[in-house]
Amino acid sequence: MQQKLIDTLLRAALEQAEAERGMLLLWRTSEFRIAAEATRRDDAIVVRVRDEVVTASLLPESLLHYVQRTRECVVIDDAAIQARFAGDPYVRQHTAGWMLCLPLLNETKFVGMLFLENHLTFSVIAATRVTALKLVSSLAASALDNSRLYGDLQEREAKIRRLVDANIIGIYIIDLGGPILEANDAYLRMLGYKRKDLVSGLLRWTDLTPPDWRPADVQRLERVKRVGRLQPFEKEYFHKDGTRVPVLVGVARFKEPRNQAVVFALDMSEQKRAQAIALEARTIKQMYVARKLHDALLQNFQGIMFRFQAARNLMPRHPDEALRTLNEAINDGVKALDESLGAIQGLRSEPIA
């Protein structure tokens, strides 16, 4: 659609201005790009689609910058005006004939520029032709801008449709009051439903939400109505068989109708199972360490008690040997206590989940 508009605009501009060559520049993100070029070949006008940056060899850059800044139509057709842009390499190389640069404005929005020139004759472009070109450019700017917006919308819709059809994550459209209006296969499969269940109109996200999650959903619903979106959050849905499915959910309300929203849901079942397995493994490991600690402590303290008993027996007849035995027992006890405290600290510091 946009290419047809560009073709029509350039042909009409060259015909109206009796130009030798014309270029259409469109504003793209942060720069002008050459969208198309029209040239005369014998009695025919040939339009060629292009998509490239502006260079000094193709166009007078200083003239383009001036028109962009002032938003005025500029015609270089005499020495006085040409002198203003005499420093431009393109203008210096093309002194004969005339050049015209016209801004394309959709109300106050800068859509692009139309550049026309004729260096094959020494004639000047008539003021009436410039006035007609201004009228054509005004209509073209609106049409081109609307065409671009329509094309962007179609592209975004196509991307969203590809995402929905890819069935990588569950995507569904809801009425904020409860009904699920549309859903992709990934969402239905996640909860064990068929498309006929959706078509029946009986699926409601409020009914699929377990009771313990509903108070939080009431608060989220108010935020969606007020702000229009929700950052991803975790919740659960009922599976058709009655089990619960953990999901990560994101919500964005439509501007129109305001009572509808698109919801993205990622099944977290595998992640939750992996977390449960990891938790169980850590618990088993901690129990194993705790048992080893218990056995080591028991063995150490049994040895210490044996030394205390031996020291008590030696005390009446061999006090020096008894003292040495007591010191050894105390040292063993301090060592066993340090090892036990280290093991206990390790158990406490290891994350559980």
What pLDDT shows up at residue 266?
A: 85
What pLDDT shows up at residue 131?
A: 83
What pLDDT, in 10s, does the model give residues 208-226? 999 999 999 999 999 989 8
332 touches 304 (CB < 8 A)? yes
The domain 167-267 is placed in CATH, from the list 3.40.140.10, 3.40.50.1980, 3.30.450.20, 1.10.10.10, at 3.30.450.20
CA distance 323 to 151: 95
Share of the chain above pLDDT 70, in %: 75
CA distance 314 to 312: 6
Q: State the average pLDDT over residues 164-184.
A: 81
Return the domain boundaries, the chain: 2-159, 167-267, 272-349
- DSSP three-state, residue 189: helix
pLDDT band at 353 (very low <50, low <70, confident <90, very high): very low
Whether CATH 3.30.450.40 fits 2-159: yes
Q: How far is CA 212 from CA 45, 218, 237, in A?
A: 71, 11, 11
pTM above 0.85, yes or no: no
